[in-house]
Structure 1
Amino acid sequence: MARPTGAPPPERRELTRAVDRISFLYAEHCVVHRAANAVTLTDQRGVVHVPAAALGVLMLGPGTRITHGAMSVIGGCGVSVAWVGEIGVRYYAHGRPLAKSSRMAEAQAAIVSHQRRRLDCARRMYEMRFPGEDFATLSMAQLRGREGARMKRVYAAESERTGVRWSRRSYSPDDFEAGDDVNRTLTAANAALYGVVHAVICSLGAVPALGVVHSGTDRAFVYDIADLYKAEVSIPATFDTLAAASEDPVREVRRAVRDRIVETKLLRRVVADVHTLLGVVDDLDAEIGDLLLWSDLQAVPSGANWDEEQFLA
């Protein structure tokens, strides 16, 4: 069998950590290929080289074609790949994440499956959203009540700051056009935020479906984490966009969300907050998982036949 051509993939320790990477790169109507250990994007205007190891997520929009060589270098550099709709609004699928350890998923499952630990984690989420308040003894019903009142004040404050009229949050997930301008623009802004948060969660090896506050959907944990940042990212981006009287606020608000993600260093914060909420130490050595066999006594290495005598010895 012939040896693969091109530069060898980098060692895992040489890879850029998730917190230091470009959050995402969106591509459409181009061919994605590779040159050595770089990703190339080619269209009628020319070729752009992108260092693969600097990317967190490559988002492939309509009209893109990607080669096997490109996927090879992307996989070797631990870049997540997401297939999305135009401007990244719809999420279709994703490739293998940056994480090579199950510890995030195991910690998340332990929290979600334990009622007291799940409530404690939910309280920490609300403390992040509304700093300076005491949520230590509140039930989930009380937390939801507090949230509703505080979010109403957030919307009212943004309306007063920008002069954009606001009545209430009203939208239909199945009929985007049914809402008024402010609700449609807010929905688009939140969708952009969800996409970036989803990408980070997958890159870390956490499970998007295992929510703490939310449940019942494959993006429950995405909604949990995105809620931490709406008051400073998607909501003000929506009101600023509408105050600017843009001809196409739904399109413009996605750019506004992108700019706020950069300004607030959101990618780094999402990584840190997910680690904190799940109680997992951000340790590069621990991110490289070993394949083990579970037992009720201790985990043992795989790749060996463990008869009863050998195991008990």
Structure 2
Amino acid sequence: MVGSAPPEPTELVRAEDRLSFVYLERCVVHRDSNAITATDDSGTLHIPAAMIGALLLGPGTRITHAAMTLVGACAATVVWVGEGGVRCYAAGRPLARSSRLLEAQARAFANQRDRLSVARRMYELRFPDEDVSNLTMQQLRGREGARVRQIYRDESRRTGVDWVKRDYKPGDLTDSDPVNQALSSANTCLYGVVTAVIHALGMSPGLGFVHVGHDQSFVYDVADLFKASTSIPAAFEVVASGSTDPANDVRRVLRDRLMSGGVMDRCVDVLRELFLAPQELQSVTPILYEDAMSIWSGRADSTLAAGQNHDRGRT
């Protein structure tokens, strides 16, 4: 192989300690040793690849095979950012070598009672003053709609920005008012960050508990937990500042909020708490990053050692 050897899992920066996202546009993305480089008319910027959570590629970017190889080896997520949304086009191998969280997510998803329990806990995280212990999924959706509308109204009063409703056209960012443009752009960045954390922990972005039927359903579930403290206030503040380019300016405001609020760290904690038992939380970090494999025995929660011949017959 030409270049530096791929890093071992224990050498990589944990998801909660990484930069939330790096946004690039109108440049060529390449590799210099273990750094991602972004080159345009003004020069070349070096970015340590192991520190990236999500690499957001905006309009006018080109990325080389060498750069993608490094991004994949460092378990970062690459997201191509369009005008009206985000598509997770590629993702590196997860930081977590264990499938423990993925299996817990799949078990909860496949059981209707457990799935509703996760949805209730997600709602409690967003609105801790609500008692939802006996609410159905339909009742949760109704409560959510009312509370989210109230959040928009509160931000409108706080910032003085006029608010009518959430209104946007997928694929055409400009076909909406400034605050909706800022919201779409900020949410796009937040989705990229959440996608990066989900991939880093080895979980599935498609197994959602509130949103369903989309390969990013779980991303939308988790992102909703943080919008009220990140993308929504950032969007209203940018428009209130008189920005003439809210879709671009909101990224800088959002990045500051994500870093100061420790959102990646909180996102990792939330995912662990949602799917692991309390006694498992103390030991989950070393286990998640342990590069080990077993063979299913055919019985529930029972495994056999891998790398061995289990044929008891004679040859």
Q: TM-score, normalised by structure 2?
A: 0.85
- 1:65 aligned residue: 63
- 1:210 aligned residue: 207
- The number of equivalent residue pairs is 304
Instruction: Report the residue type matching 1:212 in the other structure.
Output: F
- 2:15 aligned residue: 18
Instruction: Report the residue type matching 2:139 in the other structure.
Output: Q
CA distance in 2, matches of 1:32, 1:84: 16
**Which residue of the other structure, out of 287, 293, 301, is the alignment partner of 2:305?**
301
Could you list the per-position Cα deviations for residues 43-100 of structure 1 after superposition, in whole angstroms to 9, with x for gaps in the alignment?
44444333333222333443323243x4454444x33241413699532511323222
CA distance in 2, matches of 1:224, 1:63: 29
- The answer to whether structure 1 residue 243 and structure 2 residue 240 are counterparts is yes
Native 8 Å contact 1:155 1:235 kept in 2:
yes
Native 8 Å contact 1:89 1:192 kept in 2:
no
- 1:157 aligned residue: 154
- The answer to whether structure 1 residue 123 and structure 2 residue 120 are counterparts is yes
Q: How far has the Cα of 1:6 moved from its partner? A: 4.6
Native 8 Å contact 1:108 1:278 kept in 2:
yes
Q: How far has the Cα of 1:236 moved from its partner? A: 1.0
- Cα 1:65–1:147 shift into 2, 3 Å: closer
Instruction: Report the residue type matching 1:129 in the other structure.
Output: R
Identity within the alignment, %: 45
- Cα 1:18–1:200 shift into 2, 3 Å: same
Q: How far has the Cα of 1:204 moved from its partner? A: 1.3
- The answer to whether structure 1 residue 229 and structure 2 residue 226 are counterparts is yes
CA distance in 2, matches of 1:163, 1:234: 17
Q: How far has the Cα of 1:300 moved from its partner? A: 2.0
- Cα 1:49–1:190 shift into 2, 3 Å: closer
**Which residue of the other structure, out of 283, 286, 305, is the alignment partner of 1:284?**
286
Alignment of 1:70-219 (within 5 A): 70-76=67-73, 78-85=74-81, 90-96=86-92, 97-173=94-170, 175-219=172-216
- Cα 1:173–1:63 shift into 2, 3 Å: closer
The structure showing larger relative contact order (alpha-carbon pairs under 8 Å, at least 6 residues apart) is 2
Could you list the per-position Cα deviations for residues 178-223 of structure 1 after superposition, in whole angstroms to 9, with x for gaps in the alignment?
4333333322222221121112111111111100111111111011
- Cα 1:21–1:184 shift into 2, 3 Å: closer
**153-162 or 182-191, larger mean C-alpha shift:** 182-191
Q: How far has the Cα of 1:151 moved from its partner? A: 1.5
Native 8 Å contact 2:54 2:192 kept in 1:
no
Instruction: Report the residue type matching 1:285 in the other structure.
Output: I
2:55 is paired with a residue whose SS is strand
Could you list the per-position Cα deviations for residues 120-150 of structure 1 after superposition, in whole angstroms to 9, with x for gaps in the alignment?
1111111110113222121111211211221
Native 8 Å contact 2:168 2:175 kept in 1:
yes
**237-246 or 20-29, larger mean C-alpha shift:** 20-29
Native 8 Å contact 1:30 1:43 kept in 2:
yes
- 2:30 aligned residue: 32
Instruction: Show structure 1 runs of 5+ residues with no match.
Output: none
2:46 is paired with a residue whose SS is strand
Q: How far has the Cα of 1:5 moved from its partner? A: 5.1
Native 8 Å contact 1:31 1:43 kept in 2:
no
CA distance in 2, matches of 1:184, 1:31: 27
Native 8 Å contact 1:80 1:94 kept in 2:
no
- Cα 1:167–1:88 shift into 2, 3 Å: closer
